[in-house]
Structure 1
Amino acid sequence: MSLHGLLDAVAKDAALAEAVQAATDGNRMHVDLVGPPAARPFTVAALARDTGRTVLAVTATGREAEDLAAALRSLLPPDRVVEYPSWETLPHERLSPRSDTVGRRLAVLRRLAHPRADDPETGPVSVVVAPIRSVLQPQVKGLGDLEPVALRTGQTADLGTIVEALSAAAYARVELVEKRGEFAVRGGILDVFPPTEEHPLRVEFWGDDVEEIRYFKVADQRSLEVAEHGLWAPPCRELLLTDDVRERAAALAEAHPELGELLGKIAEGIAVEGMESLAPVLVDDMELLIDVLPKGSMAVVCDPERVRTRAADLVATSQEFLQASWAATAGGGEAPSTSTRPPCGPSRTSGTGPASWR
């Protein structure tokens, strides 16, 4: 349901109009707005629409981020509003985030780095809604530059090359596609389940020509409607096993035998559960979400006090779990996956934009 007309009416409020004007002029680095929580979507939408700048809306929790994004999609073009979810795991845990979470994150980063004007679903972004947990968490630098595997009907492509690209993007080859992050090949038919899609896609080749791309059901494998935008499959992991990563893992395995089982498999090119926890020492650099936002972007912190409290709680919880893991190690358990870098980035959200909402 579109509420664009209601946004026009709310945007005439004197305080909101002043904040929008301040953001447009750029002469005030910080503005405090006080109002009911229900007014937050209108504030974010007005800032994004009237200034033409990308807005990062920071919430205290993931549920609040989902609710805010849903409200914003009724005030702005839905394709211009995206959520940037956080991992379900702590940075040092030997657990990998779900492939659908990774896919959604990488899709957002790709749109921020390389928006496509010819496709609204992969085009420019007006609002990024993110919980503070995903804002604080360091991520591998350059994830937005990772090329998704993309195919369209009528395109010419070598099936063998596409299979290699999917494998390099951490997709698992199986006999029958059932879960996100899997693909299968049967003759000239390629089935792929991108982590960002609700249903898997079936690509039919005639020689090297893509003849048709359709969705299909996992339960009975029957084809559904045509996929108008074709196949767009981002990587399924934020740490890809490149030659450089494998070489570093091999060197670290010798220096840290307590992590030999994990690092040894990475060195052999085998994706293992929890390998993302070692990303800070396996790649050249890490960065934060705010580092990849377009130039001139602004941040709106919804309920700043709750966000600050939540950020402090996340850091404290991470440290407690890390200490507990080392205590378990002393008793014969597995060593936690740690690095010389902090589990959460510095608190750079305070005062990063023109508006905070109380």
Structure 2
Amino acid sequence: MNRYKLNHLKTPLIGITALLVVSITGCKSSSTSTVALNGAGSTFVYPVMSHWTDDYTQKHPDIQINYQSIGSGGGVEQVRSGTVDFGASDNPLTDAKLADMRPVIQIPETAGPVCVTYNLPGLKQPVQLSAEALSGIFLGTITTWQDPLIQHDNPGVQLPNVKVVVAHRTDGSGTTNAFTTYLAAVSPDWKQKVGAGNAVQWPAGIGGKGSEGVTGLVRQSPGAIGYVELTYANQNKLPVASIKNLAGKYIAPSTASTTAAIAGFTDQLAKDPRTPIVNPPASAPDAYPIATLTFLIIPQDGPDRAKRTALKTFIQYIITDGQTEAAKLDYAPLPEGVKQFDQQALKHLTAAGQPLP
């Protein structure tokens, strides 16, 4: 593998206190040693990571996996400081951030949509929103649900005459990064005035901590609109908007529409898996336009061979059998080309400088 791929493989439900601890119990010899793996990072991936660790450790009772859902930025920092065996991040590390990291491998692990949810009492059909309307809402230039731009997206629908209440995250979040990356891609005003990132200076609205904070604000405020993960929206029975894509179709967030978004960037992802998958081209007519890949960030080397071997096998599970499990939780399975990229990257994991099996 060339230096670019090696260096650039170095590569972000709910709240900073969320802690996944899979405890290993059952019948095993007292002489059997347990290998403990520690990970931290993305809240976006927490539901599927919880399922992966439970499923994997049931099949491998000699391995214990702890995952702290502390946010993508926190996961990256813990990998940097060497306090975890792996991190998870919803936005990949840039070249500048890679330069400050120990040698790491960065690989996509799954993908999912960012949903736009709202509180419009009495409205039966899903709201449809164009890029212009959505960016105007979060810029604060659209202040009522009967704004002409929103009404144009929803012909024949009697929208309530209530003010728009924007709800957004206050904590650093990979979900925020994906959402603002989309807004920056579709709105020159947003790109100039706000930009994209895990945390931004919001021009309008009220803030809540974590997806549960945004959901609480939306639920208690008629006219409110916010953004959350699909799994979170489904589990809480929240309505989600269909977003107009570049093909001119209003697409609802789903596993299938996220897979279509990934497919819209096949060539770019083959060259650099860090490519954002927001606002897919018109050649992907069924793609939902606000989606993100999530990434594992793994130190390239470590001193403990047993732990490093266990880590490699766990990650191989994630990018193979784990993809089927991810689909059950509304995450989009990785396409074959990306999985092959991941497998090639894992060949560069070592223990004390020596290759792993």
With structure 2 as the length reference, what TM-score do the two structures score? 0.30
Q: Which has the larger radius of gyration?
A: 1
With structure 1 as the length reference, what TM-score do the two structures score? 0.30
